[in-house]
Amino acid sequence: MADIIDGRAVARKLDAETKAQVDAMVAAGLPRPGLAVILVGNDPASEVYVGRKIKKCAEVGITSVEHRMPADSSQAELLALIATLNEDPAIHGILCQVPLPTHIDTGLVLRAIAPSKDVDGFHPVNVGRLSTGTGGIIPCTPLGVMKLLDTVYDDLTGLDVVVIGKSNIVGKPIAMLMLEREATVTVTHIETKDLPDICRKADVIIAAAGAPRLVKGYWVKPGAVIIDVGITRMKTEDGKTKLVGDVAFEEVQHARAVTPVPGGVGPMTISCLLANTVQAAREQLEGTSSDGFSIDWDELPDRSMFTGETSEASA
């Protein structure tokens, strides 16, 4: 039988660490970290997620400020709110819950959030810093995946990792994080040819394709570790609904360890959001945040490649 990686237990441990950091900041006379949560409209799933995030903020000592906007709010109104929050020193993290109403450009809205306050890690500045190994805020779900793997492995060096899914918010960031840890990474998706054969060679499979029960037992070699990021609500034969992942859980019990759905990656996402908020607060207070990331022009031998100017060396 495969060991079950208990995401709830790991999340509780991370929450305790986050609370300890908040308590230490307050004891040192620093401002309490503040998170602004924006909800546009009344999507039922979003209502649930936002409620959970606000509750968890209270548990770890983060101040949460909720901004609810009607579904017919204009894009300009939402951008104006974000601009105000960007300038608010009491707000260290901004979360705009998606999906947004169809008349609003989600990409534009996420880019409007200051990189230093982008606790989801979706801003191009944070994405770029992750891909180049220069810091920044890591997206919550990929960060949670890494913390779960750390409960199984002390070192990822040289492991053969297969990521199923190429999304900007899960698949690609996970691949970058794995490369930083010296793993050998293959990024695949549901259209990849010979996907079962590729997976059978993997020491670690991270399934994030959003395809229920995609990964079958024969795809997995004995002793592999499986992280199931997928979550889909499906109807059972008796008409009820249940949550299933991208992995046929009962078929992979010959693996070394596997995350369940629910109770695996899911609980880690909110806990990592809170940890990111504390990180953002500390970096803003220390002046080391993403917004302050800049090029030291004096250290460049030829700055024309960035500015278009002609340097003395290249003239």
pLDDT tens digits, one per residue of 63-80: 999 999 999 999 999 999
pLDDT at 219: 98
Domain count, the chain: 2
Of 96-110, 177-191, 197-211, 229-243, which range is least confident?
Answer: 229-243
> What CATH number is given to the structural domain containing 227?
3.40.50.720
Q: Please give the average per-residue pLDDT across 148-162, as a whole number.
A: 98
Do the domain assignments include residue 4? Answer: no
Angle between helices 124-132 and 171-180 in degrees, nearest 10: 30
Same domain, 43 and 162: no
Reading the block at residue 47, the tokens are 């209502």
From 88, 123, 158, the end of a domain falls on 123
Reading the block at residue 190, the tokens are 């549901």
Residues noted as catalytic: 53, 97, 120
Where in the sequence is the domain holding 47, given as residue range(s)?
19-123
pLDDT at 291: 65
pLDDT at 179: 97
Q: φ, ψ for residue 269 (rounded to 5)? A: -65, -50
Q: Please give the average per-residue pLDDT across 195-202, as a whole number.
A: 98
How do residues 20-53 score in pLDDT, each as one tens digit?
999 999 999 999 999 999 999 988 889 998 999 9
Do the domain assignments include residue 216? Answer: yes
Task: Write the burial class of residue 259 (CB in 10 Å: 0-12 exposed, 13-18 middle, 19+ buried).
Answer: buried
| CA–CA–CA angle 94, 97, 99 (5° rounding) | 145
Same domain, 217 and 262: yes
Q: Is the pLDDT of residue 125 over 50?
A: yes
Q: Is the pLDDT of residue 242 over 50?
A: yes
Q: Is the pLDDT of residue 86 over 90?
A: yes
Do the domain assignments include residue 9? Answer: no
Q: Please give the average per-residue pLDDT across 190-218, as a whole number.
A: 97
Q: Binning pLDDT at 50, 70 and 90, where does residue 308 land?
A: very low
| Terminal Cα-to-Cα distance of the chain (whole angstroms) | 68
Q: Please give the average per-residue pLDDT across 219-236, as a whole number.
A: 95
From 91, 123, 155, the end of a domain falls on 123
DSSP string computed for 254-270: TSSEE--SSSSSHHHHH
pLDDT at 294: 43
Mean of pLDDT over the chain: 92
Do the domain assignments include residue 287? Answer: no
Do the domain assignments include residue 290? Answer: no
